[in-house]
Amino acid sequence: MIRSISILSVVAFLCSTSDAANPPNFVLVYVDDLGWAETSVEMIKGRPETRSDYYQTPNFERIAKDGMVLSTCYSPSALCAPSRNSLLHGMTPSRLRYTVLSAVEAKKKYTGQITIPQALRKANPEYRTAHFGKWHNESIKPTEAGYDVTDGPNGNGPGDFADDRQTHLPDDDPKRIFSLTDNSIQFMKDQVAAKKPFYLQLSHYAMHIWHNSLKDTREKYKKLPKGRKYGRKDNTPEEDISIAMYNHGWIINYAAMMDDMDRATGTLLDAIDQLGIAENTYVILTSDNGGGFRGNAPLKGGKGSLYEGGIRMPSFVRGPGIMSGSYCDVPVVQWDFLQTFYDLAGGTEPLSADLDGGSLRDVFENGNNGKVQRKSDALVFHFPWHTGEPESVIRRGNFKLRKNLDSLEVELFDVTKDISEKHDLAQSMPGLVQELDDLRSEYLDSVNAETVTLTRRNYVELLEGGWIENGRKRLAKLKAELAADPDNKQKAFKVDVSQNHVDFQDRQLKRSTELIQMHEKRGTANRN
């Protein structure tokens, strides 16, 4: 028996030293606002309605063919900033008190425990890390998070302008798609030359507005039929529709931008192959929240919503031990990524007990037979959205409960059988509704999550503290410019946008104040 144990110990030691000698690389391509069914990859095998028959993404298909489609991968939030912060820290937006775009509460006290770069360096000090592209996280700066190389912090604007919203990007680099890819490839080359394992996060500004693309790519899509989701009922050519925020036409430009990003992804994959590191590099492509257009169907909802279309992401992963051409519908979430990378990098010491994620290693290696060990078997998504419909969701097993935080109405869905969330089971399963709602509320209370009343109070303070006044000053300036140049269509459009924005903020100030008073009167101001 002693001899047997010794042999096992030696084998375990050799395996661990082998892993330590050749730790894997990680490349995370993080797309902005990409809908679940907007790529040309079937998100559920054998169901063509879960892919686009207009947008062409052969390099996304390449990742899926070489690896695994994660059919049920969730983003942490229905908006970008909370998702990015959650992914970085391996904790829910609720625990980080960064659940909406406003970072007021997150700025009061930083509650993160560890970041992806810090976790990888804890697993192996040799790791080098880089972040290129959209940061949009007011909780922490990239250098503070431990990134060795970065071009940030950046918000949405750098994807549209070359210098502080003054100079538009060159025509050959729309949304910085190609320069971001070039920077990423150079970082990989540098680490291979230095013989260092690495983590690279390429955070595209695409597919966020303003949309832009290469002219040649637009010409390609002008000649293609729009497909079942994007056809028009009238005969107006899409490129002739005058919608200023979608330059060059709406769907054509959007499709071309996705095509450009896919082509850049192909260049990135080619570089990985040419560097000879494909066999030891995990490549994950996913998005920060649901798409804002029609590319989420058959899922319900989209960006800004906790229905499946707002938080279920198109996600593909390839790498060591992942079966080619496989599909997995085990529910995973992006706050699992930190624990996953740490585990795959050889990390063994326990991380903070406050982390919400679990390692996906078993899922990567065993697909639907894999398990994710988290602190809880439920996933809680909390979105106390102050300018829209505030909501909170819990998913456990096959069932998902959604609660409107203003009306307090609940819905219950079996999202394995009903991915479109058409059949509300709340009335027929009151016991499960109560059980899930109690679990949801208990978790949010345990992490001191923001309430919708708190987010509205913060919003009102921002509006009254300068936002509305600054908006009116900008509107007055634009009107004066238009009066001096009345035929300038671009200035006229900016006046319209600015006027709409000022009107929106006025309405939001009034509505937010009314809703705060309603919750206070009802006694639900400090409850989720």
What pLDDT shows up at residue 493? 81
The two structure tokens encoding residue 221: 């899509």
Helix, strand and coil in the chain, % to nearest 5: 45, 15, 40
User: Is the distance from CB of 438 to CB of 511 less than 8 angstroms?
Assistant: no
Distances from the Cα of 473 to the Cα of 468, 476, 489, 507, angstroms = 9, 5, 21, 18
What pLDDT shows up at residue 252? 87
What pLDDT shows up at residue 451? 97
If DSSP codes are grouped into helix, strand and coil, which group holds residue 285? strand
Q: Which residues are CB-neighbours of 48 under 8 A, at least 6 positions away? A: 42
What pLDDT shows up at residue 238? 46
Residue count of the chain, please give it: 528
Distances from the Cα of 175 to the Cα of 208, 209, 497, angstroms = 9, 9, 21
User: Is the distance from CB of 203 to CB of 131 less than 8 angstroms?
Assistant: yes
If DSSP codes are grouped into helix, strand and coil, which group holds residue 211? coil
Q: Which residues are CB-neighbours of 5 under 8 A, at least 6 positions away? A: none
Distances from the Cα of 266 to the Cα of 29, 62, 262, angstroms = 12, 8, 6
What pLDDT shows up at residue 293? 73
What is the residue-level pLDDT of the chain in tens, covering all 528 positions? Answer: 333 334 444 434 444 333 557 999 999 999 999 999 999 999 999 999 999 999 999 999 999 999 999 999 999 999 999 999 999 999 999 999 999 998 999 999 999 999 999 999 999 999 999 999 999 999 999 999 999 999 999 998 899 988 877 788 999 999 999 999 999 999 999 999 999 999 999 999 999 988 899 999 999 998 888 777 655 444 444 444 444 344 445 788 899 999 999 999 999 999 999 999 999 999 999 999 999 876 799 999 999 999 999 999 999 999 999 999 999 999 999 999 999 999 999 999 999 999 999 999 999 999 999 999 999 999 999 999 998 899 999 999 999 999 999 999 999 999 999 999 999 999 999 999 999 999 999 999 999 999 999 999 999 999 999 999 999 999 999 999 999 999 988 788 889 889 999 999 999 999 999 999 999 999 999 999
If DSSP codes are grouped into helix, strand and coil, which group holds residue 392? strand
Q: Does pTM top 0.85 for this prediction?
A: yes
Distances from the Cα of 7 to the Cα of 13, 14, 15, 20, angstroms = 10, 11, 12, 20
User: Is the distance from CB of 176 to CB of 158 less than 8 angstroms?
Assistant: yes
List the beta strands (DSSP E) in 319-469: 326-328, 332-333, 378-383, 391-396, 399-404, 410-414
What pLDDT shows up at residue 275? 98
Helix or strand (DSSP H, E) at 281: strand 281-287
The two structure tokens encoding residue 51: 């892919």
User: Is the distance from CB of 330 to CB of 372 less than 8 angstroms?
Assistant: yes
What pLDDT shows up at residue 20? 59
- Burial (0-12, 13-18, 19+ Cβ within 10 Å), 427: exposed
